[in-house]
Each structure stands twice: as structure tokens, then as C-alpha cells.
Amino acid sequence: MTASPGLSATAKVERNKCLSHRVANGEKPGAAERSLYRVTVPTPDGTTRDIVPATLADLGDGDNNHLLCLDTADKPVSVAFPAGIFTDPHDDLNPETSVSLAPS
């Protein structure tokens, strides 16, 4: 998996925030698309766990971005999303995408 225009390796991701696009069928992203995200957070014992965003926000405003709202205070260390779900402004399908996040 590689970083793509949808998830920039330099994107600042904080609790409750991330990036993405609109669904390939033209609909707004919803529960089905939300469940495809994998957000990796650290655990107290030094391992990691994958979580799914609690909700998606900032939809339908035409900026080709939305927010991942997380129900944890843990800081994400990576975000991943599968290929072929979202489209960019040129109606190109997204590639499989992941990005590692530097600790703040």
C-alpha cells in the first residue's frame, strides 16, 4: 500500500480527523464506507490495534475531504483504506491507500 492524493503522508491527523473522497456510485460516504477504514492506534502494552471510525463528518461540501471521527483518545499511527471505493474530482477510483503518521 502507498500514500495517494487521498491520504497525504504529510497530512496532519489528530484525534477525530483524516481525509477522503465521495463514493464511486455518487452517494455520500456512509456506514459501509466508514467500516472499510482501518485506523491503527497504540495500546498500553506497546502493541497496536485497529479501530474503525465512529462516524464520518464534513461530507458533501465539495472539498473532496471528510473527517474520521474516532471514539478514542489514542493517537492514530496509521490509516488505511481499500481500492475502488471513492472517486476523485476526475471520477478516477482510489488506489489501495495507507499512510503512517508521525507521533506528535
Across 64-69, average pLDDT? 79
In degrees, rounded to 5, the angle at the alpha carbon of residue 68 between the alpha carbons of residues 101 and 82 is 75
Q: Does residue 79 contact residue 13 with C-beta atoms inside 8 Å?
A: yes
Is pLDDT of 66 > 90? no
pTM of the model: 0.70
H or E element at residue 31: helix 31-34
Tens of pLDDT, residue by residue over 79-99, are 999 999 888 778 888 889 899
pLDDT digits (tens, 9 = 90+) for 10-24: 333 444 333 445 677
